[in-house]
Structure 1
Amino acid sequence: MYRVWNFLTNYSLLLIFGAAIALVWANVDAHSYHLVVEYPLWFNDHVGYDLHHWEVALGEDAALFGHAETAKVLTVHYLVNDILMAFFFAIAAKEVWEAVILKNGSLRGKKAATPLFATVGGMVGPIAVYLGIAALLGSDTYDAVANGWAIPTATDIAFSYLVGRIVFGAGHPAVRFLLLLAIADDAAGLIILAIFYPEGDLAPIWLLLSLVSAIAVFFLFNRLPRNLDRGDQTRPKSTWVRQKLSFWPYLIAGILSWYGFAQSGLHPALGLLPIVPTLPHADRAFGFFADAEKHLTDLLNHTEHLLKHPVEVILFFFGLMNAGVEFSAIAEPTWLVLAGLIIGKPVGVLLFGYIGAHTLKLGLPAGMRTVDLFVIGCVAAIGFTVSLFVASVAFDPGPVQDAAKMGALFSFGAAVISIVAGKITGVRKIPV
C-alpha cells in the first residue's frame, strides 16, 4: 500500500489529533461537545438512529429541535460512524481479501497457521479476562458490562505495527508475524460486528439487496467484459469499462449494499464489504504497507488510492466523534477493557501460539523465539481504533460506554509495556 511511515502520518496521526481534541473539548465543555456529536441533520423514516435512542442520548436538549414525528434521525455521529466509516472498513476488508484469496496472500498456506492460532488466543484471552473479572465483581457489574466482551479483542494494525518495529526492528520475523495476526484479527472483528452487534431488529431479507447488488456489479462490469475479451490480448471491452466507467458502478452497488445492511439491522458500517471482492484486482499483492503496491493499476488498488485522503479526514472525525470522554467517567469498565487487552492478549497469544507452534508442530518463523509470542501479544494489546468503535456499538450512550471508551484510549499504554517486555525477554532488534 504505502510506506508504513506515510501510512501512520496520514492516517494515525490525524486520528490521534481528532481524539485529543475530543478529550480536551469533552473535559472543558461536555455539554457543547455532546450537542455537536448528537446534532440532528435529518429527521426521516429511513436512515439514522432510532428517534427514541437519539432523544435519550441528547437528553433535555432534544426539545430544542422542533420536528415532525419520524422513525429515525440522522445525526453527525451516525454520519461518521455508520456511513463514512464504511470506507475505512472497506480498506481493511480489501487487505483481508487479498491476504486470503491471492496466490501469495499472507493468510494462505502453512505460513499463516501459527499466526492464526495466535489470533484465536488473542481473542479468547481478552474475552476470558474481561468476563472473568466482571463475574468476580458481582452479578450487577457483570450484567452491566457483559455486552462489551468484544471490545478488548481488537488490535489496531497501524499502531501495533509501529510499536512492533520499535521493539523488534523492521527486519525481525516477529514483525511480519504481528502483521498476520493483526490482519486476521481485523477479519474476525468484522465477523463479530456483523453477528453480535446488530444495530436494530434483524430483517435478513434486506441482505438480498446487498447480495444482488454485489452479484450484478461483478457479472456486468467485471466478469462480462473479461469474457467478451477472451482471446483478444488488447482487451478492448475491459479497457473501455475501466477507463469510462471506473469505480462508479461499484459505488452505486455500494450505496445499495449499505442501505441493505442498514435496513437489515446489521451494522451499516460493514455495508461495503460485499462489494470489495467484486472489484477487478491484480493477481498479486505485495503485503500490507508494501510501497510497491501503489504501482498496481487494477481497479481495486486504484479505488483504494482514491480513498486515501478522504479516509484520512474520516478518521480524524471518527476520533473527534468518539473519544470525547470525561476523565470522571473512569470506572470498572475502563479497567476491564484494559485488563482484557494488557493481560488477556499477551497470555492468549502466547498460549495458543505455543499450541500451534509446538503441540501441533506448525513451527515458528526462522529467527523467532517462543517468548517473542508474549511480546507480540503485548504489542497487539493496543486496541484504540476498533476498540473505540466496538465500545460505541456495544453500549448505549452513557457512563458505561464512556468508561469502556476510556479503556480503549488507555490501551496506548501497551506500547510502553511492549518496550519493557522486549527488554526483559532479551529481544534482539533486527534492522531492515
Structure 2
Amino acid sequence: MYRVWNFVTNYSLLLIAGAIIALIWANIDADSYHHFVEFVIWDHAPIGNLHDGHRTLTLHYLVNDVLMAFFFAIAAKEVWEAVILENGSLRGKKAATPLIATVGGMVGPISVYLGIAYFLGSETYSAVANGWAIPTATDIAFSYLVGRMVFGAGHPAVRFLLLLAIADDAAGLIILAIFYPSGELAPEWLLLSVGAALAVFILCNWLPRKRDAGNQDRPHSTWMASTLGVWPYLLAGCVSWYGFQEAGIHPALGLLPIVPTLPHADRAFGIFSEAEQYLSDLLNKAEHMLKHPVEVILFFFGLLNAGVEFNAIGDATWLVLAGLIIGKPVGIFLMGWIAAYPLKLGLPAGMRSIDLVVIGFVAAIGFTVSLFVASVAFEPGMVQDAAKMGALFSFGAAVLSIMAGKMTRVEKQDG
C-alpha cells in the first residue's frame, strides 16, 4: 500500500509553506527578506576553508550547502537501492524503457531551453546559457502525487513515472557534481571523501560481517549497529563533505559517497511504500532518523530560495518553463516510443504510447531540484530570480497534466 499523502505531508507541505512565505515576504519588503537570507551566523577567521568565499557563514549557506546534504542523501538512498538490490526498480529489462525515456526527458528540455535562447540573440544566450540543467529536474513527490490523480494508483504509468523520476534524480546529482562546481576545481581533495567512505565501509560494515561469517547470531554486526549506530557514518560524512567543498564540487552532494557504505536490507519495497518503515537495516534507520530534520530543512530551503519579486520575471522564466512543459513531454514521448517499438523493449502491460505524453507533462513539475539548480547556476540577481520564478511556475504543469489526461482519455485505475 502506498501512502502518498503522508509522504507529501512529510516532505513537501513545509517546503510549499516556506516558498509561499518567501514569495509574500519578498514582494512586501524585499530588503528585510534579503537581509534575513544573508543573516550572518559566524563571522570569524576561518578554519581551513570552512566558510564560503566571504569568510562568513550565512543562513543561506548553512541551508543550501550544509543541511541540504541530508536531502540529497535521502534521494541518493532511493537511487542506490533501485540500482544495487537484486529486484531493484532500475535493474533489468523492466527499467529499460523508463531509463531511455529519462534520457529524452533531459535532452528535450535542454534542447528547447538552449534552442530558444539562441534565437533570442547572443546577449540573451550568454546571460542564460548556464541554466540549461534547470528544466531537466523532476520533483518526485509532487509528480507522483499528480500522476496518481491523473492515472489512478493502480495504473502502470504511475510506476513508469516513478522509475523515470528516480533515474532523473540520479542524473541530476551527476549533473550537479560535474557541471556546477562551487569553486575552483581541486579534484585531489576527492581522495579524502573516497578515503572516508572506504574506511567506514571496511571498519563498520565489511569487517564485522567478515568476522560474523558462519555465525547466525552475528554478534559483531549487531554490536556495531546497536552500539555505534550511524555515528561513524555521520563522522565519515563530515569528512566527505569537507572533501567535496575543498574539491570545488557542491558540498550539498558531500554525503553521496557515504550512502552506499551503510548496511542495507536485501530488499526494498519502493519509494513511498509504507512497508519500508518496518525495515531495520541501518540504511533505512538512517533515513527514518533524517525524516523530521529534513522536513524542517526543506521549509528553510523554500523560505531562503523562493523569495523572488514578481517584477523579476524575464527571459529565463519562460525558457525554464518552455524547457519543462515542451521539452519534457516531447523528449519523453520520442525516446519512450523509440525504446518501446524500434528497439522492441515494449511498454508495461496496460499502458498506451500516448500515456508517455501525459507522463511527460507530469514530469515537468521541477520545483525543488529546479530551484536548487537555479541557485547554483547563476549568481544572485535578476537572471537567477527569473529562473527561480520559472521553477516555481512549473507547478502549472499539474494543470496541464490533468488536461492532457482528459484529452487523451486516460482511464484511471485504482489500486
Q: With the length of structure 2 as denominator, give the TM-score of the two structures.
A: 0.98
Is 1:98 aligned to 2:101, yes or no? no
| C-alpha distance in structure 1 between counterparts of 2:199 and 2:209, whole Å | 15
| C-alpha distance in structure 1 between counterparts of 2:158 and 2:214, whole Å | 43
Letter in 1 for 2:247: S
Aligned to 1:142: 125
Aligned to 1:48: 51
- 8 Å Cα contact 1:279/1:300 also seen in 2: yes
Where 1:49 maps in the other structure, the secondary structure is coil
| C-alpha distance in structure 2 between counterparts of 1:396 and 1:49, whole Å | 14
Post-superposition offset of 1:40: 1.7
| C-alpha distance in structure 2 between counterparts of 1:2 and 1:90, whole Å | 22
Aligned to 1:206: 189
| C-alpha distance in structure 1 between counterparts of 2:86 and 2:274, whole Å | 19
Where 1:171 maps in the other structure, the secondary structure is coil
Which residue, 153, 156, 165 being the options, matches 1:173?
156
Aligned to 2:245: 262
Aligned to 1:224: 207
Query: Which deviations, in whole Å up to 9, do the C-alpha atoms of 1:322-371 show, x marking residues without a partner?
Result: 00000000001000000000000000000000010011000000000000
Alignment of structure 1 residues 32-431 onto 2, 5 Å: 32-43=32-43, 44-45=45-46, 46-51=49-54, 72-431=55-414
The gaps in structure 1 that reach 5 residues or longer are 52-71
Give % identity.
Answer: 77
| C-alpha distance in structure 2 between counterparts of 1:332 and 1:134, whole Å | 8
| C-alpha distance in structure 1 between counterparts of 2:240 and 2:401, whole Å | 40
Where 2:31 maps in the other structure, the secondary structure is helix
Letter in 2 for 1:143: S
Aligned to 2:26: 26
| C-alpha distance in structure 2 between counterparts of 1:428 and 1:365, whole Å | 15
Query: Which deviations, in whole Å up to 9, do the C-alpha atoms of 1:282-312 show, x marking residues without a partner?
Result: 0101111111111100000001001000000
| C-alpha distance in structure 1 between counterparts of 2:342 and 2:377, whole Å | 36
| C-alpha distance in structure 1 between counterparts of 2:207 and 2:414, whole Å | 47
Post-superposition offset of 1:49: 2.2
Letter in 1 for 2:29: D
Letter in 1 for 2:342: T
Post-superposition offset of 1:41: 1.6
Where 2:394 maps in the other structure, the secondary structure is helix
Shift of the 173–211 alpha-carbon distance from structure 1 to 2, 3 Å rule, reads same
Letter in 2 for 1:34: H
Post-superposition offset of 1:2: 7.3
Query: Which deviations, in whole Å up to 9, do the C-alpha atoms of 1:244-290 show, x marking residues without a partner?
Result: 00000000000000000011100000000000000000010111111
| C-alpha distance in structure 2 between counterparts of 1:270 and 1:122, whole Å | 22
Task: Point out the more displaced range, 206-215 or 37-46.
Answer: 37-46
| C-alpha distance in structure 1 between counterparts of 2:118 and 2:142, whole Å | 31
Where 2:41 maps in the other structure, the secondary structure is strand
CA RMSD of aligned residues (A): 0.9
Where 1:359 maps in the other structure, the secondary structure is coil
| C-alpha distance in structure 2 between counterparts of 1:227 and 1:353, whole Å | 44
Query: Which deviations, in whole Å up to 9, do the C-alpha atoms of 1:386-415 show, x marking residues without a partner?
Result: 000000000000000000000000000000
Post-superposition offset of 1:47: 1.9
Where 2:74 maps in the other structure, the secondary structure is helix
- 8 Å Cα contact 1:375/1:418 also seen in 2: yes
- 8 Å Cα contact 1:2/1:294 also seen in 2: no
Post-superposition offset of 1:39: 1.5
User: 4+ residue runs of structure 1 moved beyond 6 angstroms?
Assistant: none
| C-alpha distance in structure 1 between counterparts of 2:221 and 2:3, whole Å | 30
| C-alpha distance in structure 2 between counterparts of 1:132 and 1:49, whole Å | 34
Where 2:395 maps in the other structure, the secondary structure is helix
| C-alpha distance in structure 2 between counterparts of 1:49 and 1:3, whole Å | 40
Aligned to 1:61: none
The gaps in structure 2 that reach 5 residues or longer are none
- 8 Å Cα contact 1:2/1:293 also seen in 2: no
Aligned to 1:62: none
- 8 Å Cα contact 1:281/1:301 also seen in 2: yes
| C-alpha distance in structure 1 between counterparts of 2:128 and 2:142, whole Å | 26
Letter in 1 for 2:348: P
Q: With the length of structure 1 as denominator, give the TM-score of the two structures.
A: 0.95
Post-superposition offset of 1:4: 1.6
| C-alpha distance in structure 1 between counterparts of 2:65 and 2:339, whole Å | 37
Post-superposition offset of 1:48: 2.8
| C-alpha distance in structure 2 between counterparts of 1:182 and 1:335, whole Å | 23
Letter in 1 for 2:17: F
Letter in 2 for 1:157: I
Where 1:50 maps in the other structure, the secondary structure is coil
Aligned to 1:67: none
Aligned to 2:15: 15
Post-superposition offset of 1:3: 2.5
Post-superposition offset of 1:313: 0.3
| C-alpha distance in structure 1 between counterparts of 2:11 and 2:273, whole Å | 16
| C-alpha distance in structure 2 between counterparts of 1:221 and 1:265, whole Å | 28
Post-superposition offset of 1:11: 1.0
| C-alpha distance in structure 1 between counterparts of 2:412 and 2:395, whole Å | 22
